[in-house]
Structure 1
């Protein structure tokens, strides 16, 4: 038999050839072989010719099935398609399998099996009836995981059996695919930072030609450009049509800081504080990109995603979708770090002093709180969602306001941060709107409340 993915690949001589085929004898085949051998030995000892013929028949039948099945040549091509290949935790994805018989003969009864991790559900198995030459069979199954991560699917396995059920041979395809389960995201309200505009608003254009005609930066002519912008001097110099590039939009920036220190979080599982922080970072990144911001993800270890360029922010709006996918893939597999501090993150943030900083932090001691306080610079608006480890470890008092302001929160607010305490059961959308009000100590507004002036976006 020949198997492949997506094209046929010959592996009929794998795993020791005929010896491996003998290892494919089923319980029925082994029983027939043992019974026939025993009958033949007894017949020889007792001199019973009829019993000898019966014993030989019982022993030869499974061997004949093994030989016929082993020498059968099927050319089967298989492929797999994920729809979609990236899903939020708790959502389902469908896996489509396609089998093509590219040989000139009918196949026997086939059993198709796909290997999947146990967290995605039971291993799917399908029985395919005889496939005609050039025929196609398509089947599908669903997978679902409440745990984010990257999960390999495959390789596909085909099990071929004889009509008597004496032998089963298994052939594996070589290709496999990967399902990425990303953190859940929450839609966030569109709030505006007082005195500034989101994304590309007014006041965010800068001139690249400030010193007269000679300092204009030209670029090549593109279809649809206004001919009145043609720069003839540069056209004559470069030998091709050039146009003035007089203005370039400067996108607003947002940095999302995720604290992954192991000592900063208690517990584990989908409902833990760490998973809430990862999901919150994913929601903030998605929201800010939709608002037109150039974004980047920074962890406590100093890693920057997407990491392109000197500052690591996303590029043009057209590239933002790929950048979001890269950041979501990173968040899908992010785990606790063994570091004890946020100094590496501070080194990264020290380079850029503009833009919005949104931080998702675990438990902070006085030293780390002072370090975080210094991350905010005068030209930067900073918002911190702090997960109290004691509340999350014991179930917490609920999403309502706490009785007193911890010292680390007071330190952050004195440094100009908008610091919000996150307790078990809290919804990020309400905390987001609460932070936009500029009064983090106030209770979160009810769902569906009207926009609040003086917010941030």
Structure 2
């Protein structure tokens, strides 16, 4: 939400060249077509009256010429103040969904306003520029209007600044004032709800299969900590309290949270075509859906791209959403959605940087959304499987997305390479739903062998 106010007699705050706009010359430049026509007719009538020696015609000419000038002076000397604010509901919206923008104009002066023309600057991707007419706002009064915006493209779009056009009652003069404040609307990828399938090699968040960070075998194994507001008093450890001189409590078992890494291939050479229905947009939307789904299941997740970069501001080792509360998961999901809202093609030619990030250590579940792969990149992606437990790859052949055909033979070879390395490799055809592919990955995992050389399928 943004708010701005106008100083007395100068219009809303933040106008460019406020000094020039406050001058009488700038006010004369605000003459409308009607005002200029009256002024020209008055000057012409005065000239004709002088040439023909007609006093009555001279009076008519002076009246026509003076009327727009009086309107300019009156509008220029207007002494009311106007405050404006904008509120977005919501500030983050999925592609194809609508957001409502609420505008509020307050007359904070002691005199009523005249006719106000309200206009908000909106990028063309969000729709036409909204315009409103406000008829006389009383002293201390306010007016509220709203409009809707919608975008089929991801991104961050500025809304504003808000503009006011002041008109005199005769329509002779029009002055424009601009507020300085603006708001940012974030359009994130559309997410698809995924079925809660059991994937091989994974653990169910806080459920079975999780390692415990602390053992409570007896009093000798207890590691106390300082009391925090909200702790259960039944956990107070009196022996440690007496030793340290402050209230101490027993630390409970803290399960190690399951991890999931979502790899998004953003290489420009891996995708063809553009627009909301392109293969790249499907991959971005798929990554967003998996991230949201795994956070809801209690995972610590990490968004990784082919450039080796992940979401800024994440927790330890690049994972985020490590908190147990729903608010932590919501904040983590919002941070990743904001990143995916602006992600674009990279200039890289390979996945080596992502391979370096995944190298060394168990990374848990790995879900990859990749575009076209050559033989070298397919082999490199296959080796990433050794760095984690279960691994699922959604392979998009952008050529089939442009032609609407079936998966080509070269793609089948890449899928075979990944499957031989232990990946659950699934081809993605145009128009397919991620939920169906996710269900397919879970069904195939149940039929997988108990173990393999790449160590992870259960």
Task: Report which stretch shifted further, 236-245 or 125-134.
Answer: 236-245
2:329 corresponds in structure 1 to 320
Q: Compared with structure 1, are the counterparts of its residues 268 and 34 closer, same or farther at alpha carbon in structure 2 (3 Å cutoff)?
A: same
Q: 1:189 aligns with which of 174, 188, 195?
A: 195
Aligned with residue 271 of structure 2, among 265, 284, 287: 265
Q: TM-score, normalised by structure 1?
A: 0.90
Taking structure 1 as reference, are residues 228 and 32 closer, same or farther at Cα in structure 2, changes over 3 Å only? closer
- Looking at structure 1, the residues matched to 446 and 273 of structure 2 have their Cα atoms a distance apart, in angstroms, of 26
Is 1:146 matched up with 2:155? Answer: no
* Contact kept? 1:216, 1:246, Cα under 8 Å: no
Q: CA deviation at 1:230?
A: 2.4
Conserved? CA contact 1:258–1:281, under 8 Å: yes
Counterpart position of 1:445: none
Residues 1:73 and 2:73 aligned together: no
Deviations 1:240-284 (A, max 9, x none): 211121411211111111000000001000100000000000111
Change (3 A) 1:243 1:53: same
Aligned match of 1:286 in 287, 292, 297?
292
User: Aligned residue for 2:15?
Assistant: none
Deviation at 1:379, TM superposition (A): 4.2
Residue 44 of structure 1 deviates from its aligned partner by 2.5
- Equivalence for 2:20: 15
1:367–1:129 Cα change, 3 Å: same
Q: Residue 444 of structure 1 aligns with which residue? A: none
Which piece of structure 1 moves more, 214-223 or 346-355? 214-223
What is the CA-CA distance between 1:14 and the residue it aligns to?
A: 3.9
The TM-score, its normalising length taken from structure 2, stands at: 0.90
Whether the 8 Å contact between 1:88 and 1:184 is mirrored in structure 2 is yes
1:347 paired with 2:356, answer yes
Whether the 8 Å contact between 2:80 and 2:113 is mirrored in structure 1 is: yes
Per-residue deviation at 1:350? 1.5
Give the root-mean-square deviation of aligned CA atoms: 2.4
Q: Is the 8 A contact 1:261 1:300 kept in 2?
A: yes
User: Equivalents in 1 of 2:201, 2:308: separation in Å?
Assistant: 31
Cα distance change on mapping 1:142 and 1:188 into 2, 3 Å: same
**What's the CA shift for 1:172?**
1.0
The answer to whether the Cα contact below 8 Å between 2:273 and 2:398 also exists between their aligned partners in 1 is no
- When structure 1 is superposed on structure 2, of 412-421 and 217-226 the one drifting more is 217-226
For 2:244 and 2:28, how far apart are their aligned partners in 1?
75
> Cα deviations across residues 134-168 of structure 1 (Å, max 9, x unaligned)?
11211111111111111111111111100110001
Write the deviation string for residues 359-404 of structure 1: whole angstroms up to 9, x where unpaired. 000000011111111111264211000001221122223xxx7779
Unpaired stretches in structure 1, ≥5 consecutive residues: 442-455
In the alignment of these two chains, the number of paired residues is 437
Moved more, 131-140 or 308-317: 308-317
360, 367, 375: which one aligns with 2:384: 375
Determine the C-alpha separation between the residues in 1 that align with 2:201 and 2:419.
20
Deviation at 1:15, TM superposition (A): 3.3
1:359 partnered with 2:368: yes
Structure 2 counterpart SS, 1:206: coil
**Which of 96, 103, 107 is the aligned partner of 2:102?**
96
Question: Given the superposition, is the C-alpha separation of residues 48 and 419 from structure 1 closer, same or farther in structure 2, using an over 3 Å criterion?
Answer: same
Match of 2:162 among 156, 159, 168: 156
Residue 247 of structure 1: SS of its match in structure 2?
A: coil
Which of 39, 52, 55 matches 1:46?
Answer: 52
Structure 2 spans left out of the alignment, 5+ residues: 12-17, 448-456
Given candidates 61, 69, 73, the residue that maps to 1:63 is: 69
Q: Describe the shift of the 1:379–1:184 C-alpha distance in structure 2 as closer, same or farther (beyond 3 A).
A: closer
Aligned equivalents of 2:46, 2:295: Cα separation in 1: 78
SS at match of 1:311: helix
Contact 2:112 2:139 in 1 (8 A): yes
* SS of equivalent to 2:318: coil
Q: Secondary structure at the match of 2:34?
A: helix
